[in-house]
Each structure stands twice: as structure tokens, then as C-alpha cells.
Chain A
Amino acid sequence: MITETKCAQFDSLALETGETLRGVQVAYETYGELNAQRTNAILVLHAFTGDAHAAGIDHEGKPGWWANMIGPGKAFDTDRYFVICSNVLGGCRGTTGPASERPGTGRPYGLRFPGITISDMVRLQKMLVDHLGIERLLAVTGGSMGGMQALEWAVAYPETVEACIPIATTARHSAQQIAFNETGRQAIMMDPDFAGGDFYGGKLPARGLSVARMVGHITYMSDESMREKFGRRLRNREEFSYDFDVDFEVESYLRYRGTQFVGRFDANSYLYITKAMDYFDLTAGYPSLAASLERATSRFLVISFTSDWLYPSYQSQEIVNALRSRNHDVTYCELSSNYGHDAFLVDVGEQTEIVKGFLTRCAREFRGAAR
């Protein structure tokens, strides 16, 4: 399945801060066919550094970031469902973000891009879904930041969401999650090449961005998965170098991941999107999480993973307990995996089985828009 990234254009987007973004573009891909009743659409929401290319293989032969979950016969079965994935607002993979041209200036926004939130991302996705002529989504789903968007969808547009599948996520960023993001941001902003965000066309803040990515990668793995993958093995040598060159496999891996990331991700997008995650708090303006989730009418399937210490199971259980306290239809399972936070991307065997079962039921019991 060779996939094509398409684009939708909108005149403007009203932001949570009160500002208005003019001339907004959204990059998206779709897989499968929309049925005649338009009841089989699933919106997939990507995590922090993901993009619209979720499934299949693109022209360069690169598989989508959730190609193991989306496709014929897979969890999100494209023989049955119409799957949509778009790049988030503030991203750098085709959707308007800080690297986009600021209208009327001929130059990129840089740090003149307005502050954005998860709810802004979701509002833009809603415009895309409307543009595609879909009144009600069978499901919204995503892991990590994608899960936050899924939750936001369920409360912001309950009439549009039949089912919500937030995976390895939280209703609000914790101090630890904010701390890791801030470390990444500081690494970027302290790079002399950052130049106040106006590095486009010049030298990129590659050192800062790659260090940020290295920290990120550590948080996505687990102690156990790192022990299994690298242990204390040395990289192409028998003895220590004693010169701060690469000694260990794990150092080599992190450096490689960091360097590779610079080629595909914008440092300003890193700042804006991590801040959007840190600002995310579903309880804001409500006395409790349960009160906030009261607005939601979807069925929920919440999934967490045993070894995920970045988005630990207690955060998912918080969501689940809030939903149970208001008698929402919520299914919860903590899946066993050694892969840490990355599990929702790589350890998808059991995840596939439960998503399939849940979706089959939701399709069978599709309630249509609440009137």
C-alpha cells in the first residue's frame, strides 16, 4: 500500500490564547474506504514527533509509524474501516507550524508562531473531519500525546465521537513529564546555533536538538529493554577508550538517534509541541477530572503498559476511575510489556486483539449522533 500525503487548507484557526492563525494547512493521509453511511471513520492521532504517515509505505519506502496497527486485517482493519491521520498543528511535516511562512512576511514564523495547545490541535482536526464530510467518527485513538488528543476530542466534541481509545497517556502532564520536556527545551535553546529560533536557512541547532532527542529516547524505553538491547556491551572495541569517545553500545545508539532526528524534526516545533503537552490538563476549569469527563458520551477503551514509567499506569487508572465514578462505559487493561513507553508502537500483539474486539463491538452498537 503506497500512501499519498494530502493537504487541506483553511482560512483561519481561532486559538485557545485568543489569537487567530491565518492561512492554515493540514497534511493528512487516509487508508481504506469510507462506507456509504459514513459510519466507519477512525481518526488516528500521532504522538509527539509523529506525522500524517501512519500506515502503509510512502514513496521513499518508509513505513508509517503505526503500520503494524493499521492495514488490512490489522487492529485498525482498513478492509473494514476508513482511517484518517493528520500532522498536528505546530508540527513540521506538512501542517502549519513555526517553520511555515508567516503570511505577508516571506519568512518563517520561528518564535513568532503563537502558543498552541492540545485543544487547538483538536479544533484543527475537527475542521479536517468536517471538510471530509464525516459527521460522526467511529473512533478517535492515539498513544502518548495522541491519547491526550483523543481525550480532548471526547470532551470537546462528544457528538462526533462514538468511541475513544487513549493509550499510554494521561489527563494531565505530571511534574516529571514537564521536567523531561523542559530539559529537552533547554538543550535546544542553549545551543548557540538556536539564534532565538531564527536558524532557518543557516546552521541548525543540531547539538541541542539531538541531546533533547537522546533524553527523550531514554524515557521511551525501560530499564529492562535497555538492559536487553544494550547491556554494558562495548561498541566496536575491546577496551575502554578513556577519551569520552563512544565506549558503550547505548551511547552509540543514542547519538545515532539524536543525529538522525535533526534531519527530520524542527527545533521550534519541538518547543511548541512539548509546551502544548505540558499545558494539557483536562481538569482545568472543572472541580475534578470526573466532572470534566462528564461531557463525554463515548465508550472508552483505555490501555496502559506495565513497564511504561513515562506515562505510568496510575495515570490511565485515574482516567478510568473518573469515568467509572460517573458510570461511563469504560474498558481498561494494563498490558504486560518490557518495552516501556514505546510499547504502544512496537509491542502490539495483545493491543491488536483488544482493539479489534472493542472496535467490532463499537461498530455493531454504533449509536449515531446524539440528537
Chain B
Amino acid sequence: MRLCAFSICHKYGIIIAIDNVSLSLESGEFVGILGPNGSGKTTLLRVLAGAVKPCGGTVLLDGEDVHKMRPKPVAEKIAVVPQNGYIPFPFSVFEMVMMGREPHMTRFSRESPRDVDIVSQAMAATGVTHLADRSVLDLSYGERQRVVVARALAQEPGILLLDEPTSHLDPGYRMEIMDVFKSLSRCKNIGVLAVLHDVNLASQYADRLIMLNQGKKVADGIPREVVTKEILESVYGVEAIVRTHPAVGCPQVMLVPGFRAGQGEDNPAGN
């Protein structure tokens, strides 16, 4: 499966959100999208998922224009984990995850034992099996996020789009859920595209990183090409030190706090 975007442009009123961005995502690839707040990451993801029709450019899913397809065939191939949304009613965790099977069911069909199996596996993969009968409203944000990820897994997608999937998770679950995504891309050959805030996490997991700034793509390549002092400093406007992760070998960044000068006694960058 292949998702390609060609020269996407999008505006909100007169504000340019995305400015001529092209990208591609292949099966089995793990791509991270980085960029400061307001750089158009979420808009780009919504355009790719077909939720927002861009002002210019096309998105092709296996050669078919996503914005001309009906939502159902798109949902059979692409699953999306959005940022935490508002849930008005106390659906149970099991019901929520079962909603991931909707694209594969017809209007009058009922959940088959196979659907139940897939849902159980998805819940096990994100560690929410023990919550199955609980109401989603009673869960913490981190738990809710794992439920939504389980729902996306239950969709059995070929492409997985993630909008900051780790934002509410503690470091343990953060690594665990990123491991789940990584293994999906490796073992099940799913293309994963994740908007991430954490540069270090992105560098550890992504095969390829795309850096956005003010709606433009400023870098696209393997982590070693994108996580560099020059790019980080120009995009985020802070002083950065880039080192190699001692265990994994990918570049890791340490930001230098602005108030350091003159404090002297505690100098984290001085190694």
C-alpha cells in the first residue's frame, strides 16, 4: 500500500497552513513528522486522512484520489489516531474498540466471533484488556489514548496515521506503544505516519523524518540527516546539542536552557 501527497496547499482564511508539501509513505515504513506548534502537522495529517480537502494538490492512496473516495473504502485502508477528542457518552472500552470494526461491516451485519477476536487482540496489544467493561469516561487520558490506539489496530489498516499518539502517556507506556507501532510496521508491513512532538522519540523509532516549519517542508530524510544542530536551531529557535544514543545509535538532542549563562554551577552541556 502506498500513500502519496503531491504539492499540498491549504489555507484557513488568509493564513497559509500548508505550503506546497509533497510526501510519500510506503508499506512497512515508519515516518515521523516533526515541527513546532502551528507548523501544519495536524492539518497535513487530516488532509492525508481525507478529512480536510486541501486548497491545492492531491493525495493518492494506491493511485486513487482520497478526496474522491467514499469514507468507507478509505477507512478500510487508513486508520487514524486523533488527538484526544470529546466523548459525550459512557461507552465501554469494548464498545469503543469494536467501533474499529465498523468499516469492515455492512449496515445489517453483526459482529462475528472473528471481529471479537480481532478486538481482543487489539486490546491486548495496547494493554487495555482489563478495562474492557469500564466506561471510557472513567479512564485517565493515557488509558483513553491506548483505547483509541486499540480501536485503530482493530481497523486492521494498511496505513496508520497518528496525531501525537504519546502525548498523554508516561515514559513506560510511551516506549511500549511506540514499540507496538514499530512492530506493526515491521511485522505486518503497515505504513505508519506519526506526528510527534518528542524529537528524541521520533529519532529512535522513525525510519524517516519530515520536518515542517510554517507550513513548509524543510527537511525529509533519515534521522541522522534531519536531527542536526543546524536544522533544529533554525526551526525551533533554541540552542541544541546533538549526540548519538549510546544504545541505539540514533541522534539524540539536548536543548540548552536560555537562563544557563551566568549560573555557572550546574552545566549539563559541559561534558
Q: Is the A/B pair a real complex? A: no
